[in-house]
Amino acid sequence: MMTSLLDGIEIDGAPAGALYPGWVALQRQPVVGQFEVVVFQDEISRRQACWWLENGIYRGSHVLALAPPVQNDLLTAMDPLFWPLAEGVLGGDIKEDARIFRTDLPEVAFRELSGAWLGRHAPHAIFIAAGHADSGEALTCPDGKPVAEGRMKALLSAKRTGGALIVSSPFSALPVRAQIEMKLGASATAYRFYDEAENTVFYLVWDETAPDRRPSFYYPKGPLLISDAPSGPLFPGWILEWFASHSDHAETIRSARPFLPEDFGVGQASSLRTPKTPRDDRPTSPLASTEATHSVSRSSIPEPTEIQSTPEPMAAPQRSFLPELPLETTPVLKSEPKKGLFGRLKSLLDRHSK
């Protein structure tokens, strides 16, 4: 079977030869247009890797390793799949033109595509280690949306108990109920939340390889990612890939009910109480941050004998569904004193009772 999967593949003008010991070809799948992908697996470690083919010719072992013209052609061909999801359900309202979904692509290949596509069209999420939230300081997201003191620390203390997942929104401090649970393979589980008071979508993601680790926070419109997980920088692409392979997500999200008064005491609501933190007159400053990159580890997989030099990446089309980062640092805002938490909660519940 391995021989048939490699039939017709050329590497440096010669037929594909023997693989490294322990690696086997699992699947050869058409992707789009002239592109195919072959998935390999190491029999001992179970690691998987890809060969990307164009018209039967080996082009690279990762989407990010493709020559710029080839990478551009491949990712541009994926636009009809990813754009409606990236501009819609990922960070906002569901778009009616999201009608294309793929369930035939191997997970490892699909994740490479979604991560690379998201990285070229959207600003990289500002990445902050979750430990910074322990200070309880306020912070301002790159898009200018404030998170008041103590809210992020409370949110990242959320625990799952098997029931409905209810947390306090870091933006309005109101309780919100998870709309949908997304199993990101065996690696992670993500939950989508919608804060109606702020018209804001955010996610909590648990790393299933270390389930006791605190969750990661992802705010697509920020864009902001707070995580301690080694795979944290990859979570945005994994979430996009999940939406692209689950056509029923729109119906599930639309039918999800919001937080209601009877939800008090139901499921996990441990983070609904925002801890008080000392205040002083000293100005607060945004948390130190670094830019997340889609890290790629090259496994010892079958590759051509010659090492190919990769030219500089081709510039992506000038289009983005996320706002540009402000030119100047946005000052951190304190929580608004105008309306208390219970007043805002009463207003929100009154709207749903009408």
Has residue 301 been placed in a domain? no
Greatest Cα-to-Cα distance within the chain, rounded to the nearest angstrom: 72
Regarding whether 92 and 37 lie in a shared domain, the answer is no
Which residues, including other chains, have CB under 8 Å from residue 153's CB and lie 6 or more apart? 133, 134, 135, 136, 275
pTM: 0.77
Give the number of domains in the chain: 2
Regarding whether 183 and 196 lie in a shared domain, the answer is yes
Which residues, including other chains, have CB under 8 Å from residue 26's CB and lie 6 or more apart? 39, 40, 41, 48, 106
Has residue 116 been placed in a domain? yes
Regarding whether 345 and 291 lie in a shared domain, the answer is yes
Q: Which domain holds residue 22?
A: 1-61
Residue 125 to residues 112, 223, 235, Cα–Cα distance (Å) = 17, 5, 11
In tens digits, the chain (354 residues) has pLDDT values of 556 899 999 999 999 988 889 999 999 999 999 999 999 999 999 999 999 999 999 999 999 999 999 999 999 999 999 999 999 999 999 998 899 999 999 999 999 999 999 999 887 788 999 988 888 899 999 999 999 999 999 999 999 988 889 999 999 999 999 999 999 999 999 999 999 999 999 999 999 999 889 999 999 999 999 999 999 999 999 999 999 999 999 999 999 988 777 666 554 444 455 445 444 444 433 333 334 334 434 444 555 444 445 455 565 554 444 444 444 444 444 444 445 555 555 555 555 555
> For residue 320, which phi and psi values (nearest 5 degrees)?
-150, 140
Q: What are 261's two structure tokens?
A: 């008064």
C-alpha dihedral over 195, 263, 348, 198, to 10 degrees? -10
Listing DSSP states for 205-237 in one string gives EEETTSTTSPPEEEETTTTEEE--STTGGGHHH
Regarding whether 190 and 84 lie in a shared domain, the answer is yes
Regarding whether 241 and 117 lie in a shared domain, the answer is yes
Regarding whether 273 and 126 lie in a shared domain, the answer is yes
Has residue 96 been placed in a domain? yes
Q: Which residue has the tokens 């191997």?
A: 106
Listing DSSP states for 259-313 in one string gives --GGGTTSSB-TTSSPPP----SSPP-PPP-EE-----PPPS----SSPPPP-PP
